[in-house]
Amino acid sequence: MAIDTQTTTDGPRTAAPEHHRLSGRARLVLFVLCAAQFMVALDFSVLNVALPVLGEDLGLGRSALQWAITAFALPSGGFLLLFGRIADLYGRKKLFLTGLALFGAASLLATLAWDPASFLTGRALQGLGAAVIVPTGMSLLTTTFPEGPLRDRALGISGTLLSLGFTVGMVLGGVMTDTLGWRSTMGLLTVAAVIVLVMAPGLLPESRTTERPRLDVPGAVTVTGGLLALIYALSTAARRGFGDLDVRGTLVLGLVLLVAFVVVESRSPAPLVSLPMLKRRTVAWGNVGGLVTFSMMSTVVFVLTLYLQETLELSSFRTGLVFGVQGLASVVAGSYAPKVIGRFGARRTLVGSLLGQGVLGAALLGVGPQSGALLATVAVSLASMCHLGAIISYGLVVTSGVPDEQQGLATGLVTTTQQVGITIGIPMLGVLATTQASLFDGVRTVLAVDAVIVLAAAVLVGLGLGGRRKA
């Protein structure tokens, strides 16, 4: 599939038009990889609206319901780097198929769960399967489609479906729970995993590094432990607050382990993460942009859901329509983003997308306690288009110029940023929404903080990626 295309993240790219088209087989490969990513994104949100019904059915108390989400988020975010590196060493296709099988079996367990323990075990195993699927799927994509217009297009479709999966999950979860029951949401994931698992073996190429260095066990232990502790602390803070002793202790433990990870990597002969790679401006600042766009957009969707249903008292169906429009906007953005990147370059697109997302987030401050559904629909849809541009461009910024043998590492960083961003945004700012005098005041506070963070990140990323010197 090699093409004669020159790619840069600094400015426009040009290539012969005939090289922009995907072959029939390439389309099938892309379908399989994107379907897997969509399935994982769907799992992040499809269960949210079903939690009250699920809790009543399984006897899961209100205070324990958050574990239905946290049990998935902990392993899915904590093990990404480790599995991304294992895939580099022992084969990405092989590990991808293993992750699909685990995800499908875990989804079946969650579907058939007979008590809280069996359900939460299924959710945790789903998260572990996702931690395998996401980095291996992304590295298979970036090694299958070479740098240039083809990879731009492939990442554009993948990014669109990733963003769309989160939105569709919220709408679909409500419809399926009302009509078929909460178990149907987990059953859907089981069927999706089986379909992808059947198609993948005959389509995907095997890829791995030619070298076989030892796995960095101390690095794997410290980074996985640090991410697990950090995600646990931030997820638990949404329920208990940051003043809780357990939250503080786990947060400190996570930070200490991540600092230890940096020290370990600086001395390891075969590090899990190459510190020189992290020193590349494209890798460091690209991931900052990705972390901000994911964490802040997921937060906006969360607080707008509260605003539309509890402040404006819209029905679940009408709220779903708002996010349905947002999903359609994401699809449109996904089709145009590669063309924008081809004209302006990935770096400029990333900065511009963050600026647009921040400005439109600030526009949401215009919603009122009695009206604002139309403004919310328009602003969040346009913000999602900018968010989609940021998703695609930051993935290109981080992975462009990285050798094939390190693509698993680079995409592991990209996908870790995605998963951690989705996981930490709501816990960090959700506390602000629930501790104000009224929910509406809390929503406005979160929207204001969100806009400031995104706009500040746009400026910092722009400065960090500025200049024409190769990072």
CA distance 235 to 232: 5
Q: Is 207 helix (H, G, I), strand (E, B) or coil?
A: coil
Would you state the pLDDT for residue 252? 92
pLDDT of res. 8: 41
Return the pLDDT at 7.
37
Least Cα distance to 262 among 457, 422, 81 occurs for 81
d(CA 384, CA 357): 7
Which three-class secondary structure state does DSSP give residue 145?
coil
389 contacts 340 by C-beta, under 8 angstroms = yes
Q: Give yes or no for a contact between 312 and 412, defined as CB atoms under 8 angstroms apart.
A: no
DSSP 408-437: HHHHHHHHHHHHHHHHHHHHHHHHHHHSSS
What phi-psi label fits residue 467: left (phi over 0), alpha (psi between -120 and 50 degrees) or beta?
A: left
- How many secondary structure helices (H) and strands (E) does the chain include? 17, 0
- Residue 60's region, left for phi above 0, alpha for psi from -120 to 50, else beta, is beta
Predicted structure pTM score? 0.70
Residue bearing tokens 């370059």: 345
List, in order, residues 6 or more apart from 77 with CB less than 8 Å away. 131, 227, 228, 231, 416, 419, 420, 423
Round to whole Å and give the CA distance between 296 and 360.
12
Give the H/E segment covering residue 293. helix 281-306
Please tell me the distance from the alpha carbon of residue 355 to that of residue 328, in angstroms, as a whole number: 21
Of 63, 69, 60, the closest CA to residue 425 belongs to 69
Whole-angstrom Cα distance, residue 120 to residue 179? 23
Nearest to 214 by CA among 269, 163, 253, 293: 269
Q: How many CB atoms lie within 10 A of CB 5?
A: 18
Query: Which residues, at least 6 apart from 263, have a Cβ–Cβ distance to it below 8 Å?
Result: none
Q: Which two tokens stand for residue 58?
A: 């399984």
275, 262 contact by CB (below 8 A): yes
74-99: b (≥16 Cβ within 10 Å) or e: bbbbbbbbbbbbbbbbebbbbbbbbb
C-alpha distances in Å from residue 216, one per residue of 89, 125, 223: 11, 24, 11
**Which alpha helices (H) appear in 307-404, and where do they start and end?**
316-344, 346-363, 373-399
> Could you tell me which residues come within 8 angstroms of residue 178 by beta carbon, excluding any fewer than 6 positions away?
316
Asked if 71 and 127 count as a contact pair (C-beta separation under 8 A), the reply is yes
pLDDT value at residue 470: 41
299 Cβ contact list (under 8 Å, min separation 6): 425, 426, 428, 429, 430, 446, 450
pLDDT in tens, the chain (471 residues): 333 333 344 444 444 344 556 666 777 888 888 888 888 877 777 776 666 678 778 887 655 666 777 788 778 777 777 787 787 777 788 889 999 999 999 999 999 988 888 999 999 999 899 888 888 887 787 777 766 677 667 766 776 676 667 667 767 777 777 778 888 888 989 998 999 899 888 877 766 555 665 677 788 788 778 877 877 787 677 667 777 888 889 989 989 998 998 888 888 777 767 677 777 788 888 889 999 998 898 788 878 877 887 788 877 667 767 777 877 887 788 778 878 888 888 889 999 999 999 999 999 999 888 888 899 999 999 998 999 889 888 888 887 776 666 666 676 677 667 767 776 676 667 666 655 667 788 888 889 999 999 999 999 999 988 754 444
What CA–CA distance (Å, rounded) separates 300 from 382?
13
HSE, side-chain direction, 13 A CA sphere, residue 22? 19
How would you class 436 by CB atoms within 10 Å of its CB: exposed for 0-12, middle for 13-18, buried for 19 or more? Answer: middle
Phi, psi of 285 (to 5 degrees): -75, -30
Residue 229, amino acid: A
Neighbours of 437 (CB within 10 A): 7
